[in-house]
Structure 1
Amino acid sequence: MTPSPLLLAAAPALPHTHSDSRLLVAVLLSIGAIVLLISKAKLHPFLALTLGSGLLAAVAGAPFDKLTASFSTGFGATVTSVGLLIGLGAMLGKLLADSGGATIIADTVLGRASKRSLPWAMALIAAVLGLPLFFEIGVVLLVPIVLVVARRGNVPVLRVGIPALAGLSVLHGLVPPHPGPLVAVDALKADLGTTLALGLLVAVPTLVIAGPLFARVAERWVGPLPLPEPAADLPAAERPERTPAFGAVLATILLPVVLMLGKALADVVVDDPKSTVQRVLDFVGSPLIALLAAVLVAMVTLGRAAGFDRQRISDTVARSLGPIAGIVFIVGAGGGFKQTLIDVGVGDAVSHWAGKLHISALLLGWLIAVLIRLATGSATVATITAAGIVSPLAAGMSGTHSALLVLAVGAGSLFFSHVNDAGFWLVKEYFGMDVGQTIKSWSMMETVISVVAIALILPLSLLV
């Protein structure tokens, strides 16, 4: 996914400064300001990133009449390339939730799982549902299922809760079409299909270790947790008349993934731009077309199958867009900050520093994302900012190594969620834990995901 040439031509690049020390001061001040504005002043990340971009350009020595040019260009290019995909993903997730498709997936898998295999079943459910759903939506959908499973199976809640959270988090950080990986793919000019394939390759063993295996450890650290009272049923008017079939739900969820993977496979196996097969697969496997096809199919396989009329399907799709407005603006502002970083010459300076330090670009991207994640609490902000800083390092990389850099940044963005992360409080309240218990379970699980993922990515870079 590349920015529109018209957008890039709309604003001239900021003049590069030749002082590495001045650039370093500009980067530290701007990131520090973003951190303080988000964590201390409780300013919305969109406003914090906007102000941080202005501070970066000013300290780096850009003329005042050019302060907003790079930010506007980056914002527009990012929203153009990524915002559409986020909107389509939200539509698919809303149709899945309102039609009862998520419940069908859970009930079918759990109905065939023994007590011993329940943690693995929950990890599988979370991974499948996590493909089209944003993390927060996935938590809201999955927690009631986790509580029902723990109650019916008479197992500790964390034994099934940690695998579910791990499945959502791993997909959120490593696998497109989630916003963070999508923005990193765009910033680093990586191939989305390759990133998706490698992301799934890294995600599976990471989920196994951070999910069912770590759940046993977290269970011992935290101790038994009381199960909250079951939530009341939805009003009858809000329930779907009937439920879609399991096979139809699963096929709909996997459709965009299969289409994008098919494009990546055709690019490797066929590798002939004149081939009709490759041209067709390149078209249907492009992220926009793949997600659009999935949404249109979901209107029938989920919406109509649940008994929704045309008006209710339309209302469901419309309601999906409101909650993601903030995400789109944050992602767009992150794109503006990224473009400002590039235009003042920070990317070139980072390349120079990395060469002097002899540090792997993958490890550098992971470390930068870790630091920003710890400071801001936002995985998306960490991914956006780190991808912008290391983007020049991807210029000479092969397609697979650019994709691995996306994954390294995504892995770093998941490191140790704590009290400045909204997800921390969401998990704490849903599971009825105190702060210490949440750190021992959720925060440590996030750290395990981050460390295991980069431990897999680094040796994988030597093989591909």
Structure 2
Amino acid sequence: MTGLATTVLLAAEEAPAATVGDDLLLGLTIGSVVLIIVLIAWAKLHPLIALMTGAAFLGVTSGLGAGATIESFTEGLGGTIGDAGLLIALGAMFGQLLNVSGAATNLVDRFVHMVPNRAIPWAMAGIAFLIGLPLFFEVALVLIFPIIVLVVRRTGLPLLKVAMPALASLSLLNGFLPPHPGPLLAVSAFNADLGRTLLFGIIIAIPTVILGGPLLGNLLSRWVQSPDVKTLLFGQDSRPADGDDQDSGTGGTGSTLVAPAKNTLKTPSITSTLVTMLLPVGLMLIRAVAEMVLPEGDSIRHAAELIGEPTVALFAGCVLAMFTFGLATGMGKSKVGSVMGSGLPLVAGIILIVGAGGGFKSTLVATGVGDVIADLAHGLGLPMLMLGWLLAAMIRIAVGSGTVAIITTAGLLAPLAAGMSPNQAALMALAIGAGSRFMSHVNDAGFWMVKEFLNLSVKDTFRTWTVMDCTVSVIAGIGVLILGAFV
């Protein structure tokens, strides 16, 4: 589990700190979310200020208190920056080397040559599914984002048509399938068989990604105008034409460090490019397998857990990229350092906004609104699988964390595990995971990552990312119910 997930989990286990009644707390929670949206969309405030204002409003009006509000917000912000922020920074440095060396361009040229334009959204969904299976959402996004941008540049396809299938795969996997932390916690809570859960999950995930990815992405790309690819991080040509100046820069989003003229660098081979890009994936996959097959305390498992820690794995990828995308291409040591450093200014604003989203989420958890939502859903008297989905969805809407939604829901419904068959236990874990993906919005750090990476407005992020997340959640939930009727 990531540091952020651990922080949120600990906060979720504490007694609710708000002093107002449940109904008022629900109203204040909705009001704080609306306030943030209005401040960003209408008042044109920076998201960082808007999120801080929303957290302050909720904390003070709910009776949490100014001191506790500040503490919960800063802890959530610090935890998010220490976790997702570091991954974004490492990913930006990795991406700059990938981009400036020409490795990404070479890889995408091969990819575009092999895959017809009409099949590219489908191929992107499949690639993201494979990359995202062992990876946390943040890591997978920073690894695949430069590829998305370059594919769009080479093919001329709308950005959203290419990006949405990849995002659908990454989102679903993060909350639905082991070895991600949330699904593993649900499997443990219901004593479900891991292999059975994986089998059922893959059966449901394939049609879910198809419907919520390429097919929905095609519709969304017609509904919402895609941003100009040149405004995106890594959005410009990585290499100038022969004879262009060889200077460098560290401009804002959409700028890239200009590499030396094309004939002065040796383009990395496809093999070295794939090995470097997949190294973090492989290290995390080793960790996932070790955690599933080896007992706790085993020395091999301990080593696998260390090298497969997301920050360590991505750091290892950066170190390897310094050689394969840097020194081996003819860059000098100072040039390698300059290229990597040029990626940091590009993501500084993203890191702060994502951190503020984590701070707002932490404030929500501290008020105890998740428990209020859980009690409300638990009293509806629905079938077990539907109840699991709905409860997780409502908590996700309230607190923004899919992991907290899974933990809270599994904790409330775990007593039902004693009367479940192995198939029911596996499906319950999947139902909760599907519900935990519902309605990503301003209290979710992932919402801000997607917004900033794709350079979307808040409105268009709701119309694309949030719609896609809801679609994936609902389709996966329906898939669980259908499968439950036959097994």
Q: Distance in 2 between matches of 1:85 and 1:298?
A: 15
Q: Distance in 2 between matches of 1:445 and 1:323?
A: 22
Q: Distance in 1 between matches of 2:217 and 2:355?
A: 36
Q: Distance in 1 between matches of 2:394 and 2:369?
A: 17
Contact 2:276 2:320 in 1 (8 A): yes
Deviation string 1:253-289 (CA, Å, 9 cap, x unpaired) is 222122212211111112x123222111111111111
Query: What displacement does 1:54 show?
Result: 0.8
| Counterpart in the other structure of 1:280 | 303
**For the aligned residues, what is the CA RMSD?**
4.8
Query: Would you say 1:54 and 2:63 are equivalent positions?
Result: no
Check 1:451–1:75 CA distance in 2 against 1; reply closer, same or farther (3 A cut): same
Give the counterpart letter for 1:31 in structure 2: V
Q: Distance in 2 between matches of 1:217 and 1:47?
A: 33
Give the counterpart letter for 1:144 in structure 2: R
SS in 2 for 1:412: coil
Alignment of 1:150-299 (within 5 A): 157=157, 164-171=162-169, 173-174=171-172, 201=202, 205-210=207-212, 234-235=240-241, 236=244, 237=246, 238-239=258-259, 241-270=265-294, 272-299=295-322
Check 1:289–1:302 CA distance in 2 against 1; reply closer, same or farther (3 A cut): same
SS in 2 for 1:41: coil
Query: What displacement does 1:50 show?
Result: 0.7
Query: Would you say 1:26 and 2:28 are equivalent positions?
Result: yes
* Equivalent position to 1:78, from 61, 77, 80: 80
Query: What displacement does 1:332 show?
Result: 1.7
Check 1:129–1:391 CA distance in 2 against 1; reply closer, same or farther (3 A cut): closer
Give the counterpart letter for 1:97 in structure 2: N
Alignment of 1:18-167 (within 5 A): 19-113=21-115, 117=119, 120-121=122-123, 131=140, 133=142, 140-147=149-156, 157=157, 164-167=162-165
Give the counterpart letter for 2:71 in structure 1: A
| Counterpart in the other structure of 1:154 | none
Deviates more, 1:128-137 or 1:52-61: 128-137
Contact 2:393 2:405 in 1 (8 A): no
Check 1:444–1:58 CA distance in 2 against 1; reply closer, same or farther (3 A cut): closer
Give the counterpart letter for 1:455 in structure 2: I
Query: What displacement does 1:55 show?
Result: 0.5
Query: Would you say 1:336 and 2:359 are equivalent positions?
Result: yes
| Counterpart in the other structure of 1:152 | none
SS in 1 for 2:277: helix
Q: Distance in 1 between matches of 2:160 and 2:77?
A: 36
Give the counterpart letter for 2:284 in structure 1: M
Normalising by structure 1, report the TM-score. 0.69
Normalising by structure 2, report the TM-score. 0.67
Give the counterpart letter for 1:286 in structure 2: E
SS in 2 for 1:62: coil
Query: Would you say 1:360 and 2:387 are equivalent positions?
Result: yes
Q: Distance in 2 between matches of 1:325 and 1:336?
A: 17
SS in 2 for 1:322: helix
Check 1:204–1:141 CA distance in 2 against 1; reply closer, same or farther (3 A cut): farther
Query: What displacement does 1:15 show?
Result: 3.5
Q: Distance in 2 between matches of 1:425 and 1:336?
A: 22
Q: How many residues align?
A: 408
Contact 1:34 1:52 in 2 (8 A): yes
Q: Distance in 2 between matches of 1:427 and 1:64?
A: 33
| Counterpart in the other structure of 2:255 | none
Q: Distance in 1 between matches of 2:111 and 2:285?
A: 25
Give the counterpart letter for 2:277 in structure 1: I
Alignment of 1:259-408 (within 5 A): 259-270=283-294, 272-357=295-380, 358=382, 360-366=387-393, 383=400, 392-393=408-409, 395=411, 408=435
Alignment of 1:427-442 (within 5 A): none
SS in 2 for 1:360: helix
Q: Distance in 2 between matches of 1:397 and 1:308?
A: 57
Check 1:299–1:397 CA distance in 2 against 1; reply closer, same or farther (3 A cut): farther
SS in 1 for 2:3: coil
Q: Distance in 2 between matches of 1:344 and 1:166?
A: 33
Deviation string 1:326-375 (CA, Å, 9 cap, x unpaired) is 22212222222222222222122122112123563544554676x79xxx
| Counterpart in the other structure of 1:431 | none
Deviates more, 1:299-308 or 1:444-453: 444-453
Check 1:170–1:118 CA distance in 2 against 1; reply closer, same or farther (3 A cut): closer
| Counterpart in the other structure of 1:413 | 440
Check 1:414–1:249 CA distance in 2 against 1; reply closer, same or farther (3 A cut): farther
Q: Distance in 1 between matches of 2:218 and 2:81?
A: 41
Q: Distance in 1 between matches of 2:431 and 2:334?
A: 43
Q: Distance in 2 between matches of 1:118 and 1:32?
A: 37
* Equivalent position to 1:456, from 452, 472, 476: 476
Deviation string 1:57-110 (CA, Å, 9 cap, x unpaired) is 111113344441221222222222332222222222222222222212212223
Query: What displacement does 1:174 show?
Result: 4.3
Give the counterpart letter for 1:274 in structure 2: G
SS in 1 for 2:371: helix
Query: What displacement does 1:175 show?
Result: 5.5
Query: What displacement does 1:244 show?
Result: 0.8
Query: What displacement does 1:22 show?
Result: 2.2
Q: Distance in 1 between matches of 2:464 and 2:97?
A: 33
Q: Distance in 1 between matches of 2:479 and 2:283?
A: 28
Q: Distance in 1 between matches of 2:335 and 2:174?
A: 28
SS in 1 for 2:342: helix
| Counterpart in the other structure of 1:2 | 3
Deviates more, 1:121-130 or 1:137-146: 121-130
Query: What displacement does 1:413 show?
Result: 2.9
Contact 1:91 1:321 in 2 (8 A): yes
Check 1:264–1:59 CA distance in 2 against 1; reply closer, same or farther (3 A cut): same
SS in 2 for 1:234: coil
Contact 2:96 2:339 in 1 (8 A): yes
Query: What displacement does 1:403 show?
Result: 8.7
Q: Distance in 2 between matches of 1:15 and 1:260?
A: 37
Contact 2:168 2:472 in 1 (8 A): no
Check 1:68–1:217 CA distance in 2 against 1; reply closer, same or farther (3 A cut): closer
Contact 1:38 1:44 in 2 (8 A): yes
Query: What displacement does 1:173 show?
Result: 3.6
Deviation string 1:129-172 (CA, Å, 9 cap, x unpaired) is 9945378755543321122xxxxxxxxx56xx665233443256
Check 1:90–1:145 CA distance in 2 against 1; reply closer, same or farther (3 A cut): same
